[in-house]
Amino acid sequence: MNILKHLCVAILTPMALMSCLAAAAKTRTVALTFDDLPVAATKGPAETQKLPAEAQSVNRALLDALKKHHASAIGFVNEKTVEELGSDNGKRILEQWVREGFDLGNHTFSHADLNNITLEQFKQEVVTGEDSILSILAEVGKTPRFLRFPFNHTGDTKEKHDFAAAFLKQRGYEVAACTIDSEDYLFNATYIQMLAKKDDSAAFKLRAAYLAYTAVEIEYYASLHQKIFGREIPQVMLLHANRLNADVIDKILVIFEKKQYRFVSLEAAQSDPAYRVPDTFVTKFGLMWGYRWAKELDIKVDGSLESEPPAWIAQYGKEPAKR
Ligand SMILES: [Zn+2]
């Protein structure tokens, strides 16, 4: 970008310079990823979230918006939820993804936390997590290529981290990274309560706050990568297949488009050299990859500069603090 800017300045008029820089900005790309397929559920008045009709409605809204915006996407599947929906209902949703041109990956059988399970249990989680996606992807001549760790917990000890990485590689998986997190699960947990109470004005306010926070996070992580790599890199957006995203996905895609992002596959995003930075960092936290790369490359970044969701989101429906 800097070299391009110098070239532009050297040879172009101001008007042409603007369009030259705008063209450069258009090289921004993002891969969209949706976790917890067929449907993510939160605790609380959430039992309806795992009803087949609701799961179907959430996925229909996501897929319709993705198609409208010509965006590719990958969904990461928890096989246990496929079974909880009644196997045919769960599989029908996954089949829609694949038949409509989208990809599926493994998110383990039960979303078990690698921090709390043994290596043998992890292996089982990965293998049984393949039950539906293997046959559904086979319909279009594919096999699962990516696995996303539940909670992005990649191994809280060196032994676990290295074993999990080696096991996944041997089984033909690439770890699905993610570089932008908009804490959609947190917003969604409150949103579900608002919908249950039919608190429409609060739900309206929450949707607006969620979209504003998403826009802030996209730019925050773009600047984090700029600091680490001296350039923007293809981003990987972490979202969940939940009611909130179903209701606002069109607007999220518009935010990316207004920021000059082009939608690409996860495979394309992760073909960037940034994703070849060695993966040796051991943490019990589910950090976005920018923070992991900064550690690997020994570049100091200040995570406290990252914004938090508005406090009222988590406070909704709780007793006011006692004075
Ligand atoms: Zn998940």
Residues 112-148: tens digit of each pLDDT: 999 999 999 999 999 999 999 999 999 999 999 999 9
Q: Tell me, yes or no, whether 21 lies in a domain.
A: no
Q: How far is ligand 1, taken at its centre, from the CA of residue 241, in Å?
A: 9
Q: How far is ligand 1, taken at its centre, from the CA of residue 183, in Å?
A: 12
Q: Average model confidence (pLDDT) for the chain?
A: 91
Q: Closest Cα partner for 154 from 282, 296, 290?
A: 282
Q: How far is ligand 1, taken at its centre, from the CA of residue 231, in Å?
A: 29
Q: How far is ligand 1, taken at its centre, from the CA of residue 152, in Å?
A: 8
Q: How far is ligand 1, taken at its centre, from the CA of residue 239, in Å?
A: 9
Q: Tell me, yes or no, whether 43 lies in a domain.
A: yes
Q: Tell me, yes or no, whether 252 lies in a domain.
A: yes
Q: How far is ligand 1, taken at its centre, from the CA of residue 225, in Å?
A: 24
Cα 206 from chain centroid (whole Å): 20
Q: How far is ligand 1, taken at its centre, from the CA of residue 4, in Å?
A: 39
pLDDT of residue 318: 86
Q: How far is ligand 1, taken at its centre, from the CA of residue 114, in Å?
A: 12
pLDDT of residue 199: 97
Q: How far is ligand 1, taken at its centre, from the CA of residue 107, in Å?
A: 7
Assign residue 117 the CATH number of its domain: 3.20.20.370
Name the domain count of the chain: 1
What does residue 240 show for φ and ψ, rounded to 5 degrees? -120, 155
Please list, residue by residue across 121-155, b when 16 or more beta carbons sit within 10 angstroms of its beta carbon and e when fewer do: ebbbbbeebbbbbeebbeeeeeebbbbbbbebbbb
The answer to whether 33 touches 74, Cβ cutoff 8 Å, is: yes
Partner residues linked to 264 by β-bridges: 31
Band (pLDDT 50/70/90 cuts) for residue 67 is very high
pLDDT of residue 51: 87
Q: Tell me, yes or no, whether 251 lies in a domain.
A: yes
pLDDT of residue 262: 98
Q: How far is ligand 1, taken at its centre, from the CA of residue 230, in Å?
A: 31
Domain that holds residue 50: 27-315
pLDDT of residue 44: 55
Band (pLDDT 50/70/90 cuts) for residue 49 is low
Q: How far is ligand 1, taken at its centre, from the CA of residue 151, in Å?
A: 6
Q: How far is ligand 1, taken at its centre, from the CA of residue 35, in Å?
A: 5
pLDDT tens sequence across 197-256: 999 999 999 999 999 999 999 999 999 999 999 999 999 999 999 999 999 999 999 999
- Average pLDDT value for residue range 17-32: 66
- The rounded distance, in Å, linking the Cα atoms of 30 and 234 is 5
- The rounded distance, in Å, linking the Cα atoms of 188 and 97 is 22
Q: Tell me, yes or no, whether 96 lies in a domain.
A: yes
Q: How far is ligand 1, taken at its centre, from the CA of residue 234, in Å?
A: 22
Q: How far is ligand 1, taken at its centre, from the CA of residue 124, in Å?
A: 17
Partner residues linked to 34 by β-bridges: 75, 239
pLDDT of residue 162: 98
Q: Which residues contact 113 (CB under 8 A, 6 or more apart)?
A: 150, 151, 153
pLDDT of residue 27: 83
Angle, helices 289-296/200-229, rounded to nearest 10 degrees: 20
Q: How far is ligand 1, taken at its centre, from the CA of residue 40, in Å?
A: 8
Q: How far is ligand 1, taken at its centre, from the CA of residue 250, in Å?
A: 22
Q: Name the amino acid, one letter, at 296.
A: E
Band (pLDDT 50/70/90 cuts) for residue 41 is confident
Instruction: Kindly state the DSSP code that residue 96 receives in the 8-state scheme.
Output: H
Q: Tell me, yes or no, whether 8 lies in a domain.
A: no
Q: Tell me, yes or no, whether 18 lies in a domain.
A: no
- The rounded distance, in Å, linking the Cα atoms of 195 and 190 is 9
Q: Name the amino acid, one letter, at 66.
A: L
- Average pLDDT value for residue range 59-67: 98
Output the six-digit token pair for 154.
Answer: 């990649």
Q: Tell me, yes or no, whether 19 lies in a domain.
A: no
Q: How far is ligand 1, taken at its centre, from the CA of residue 222, in Å?
A: 23
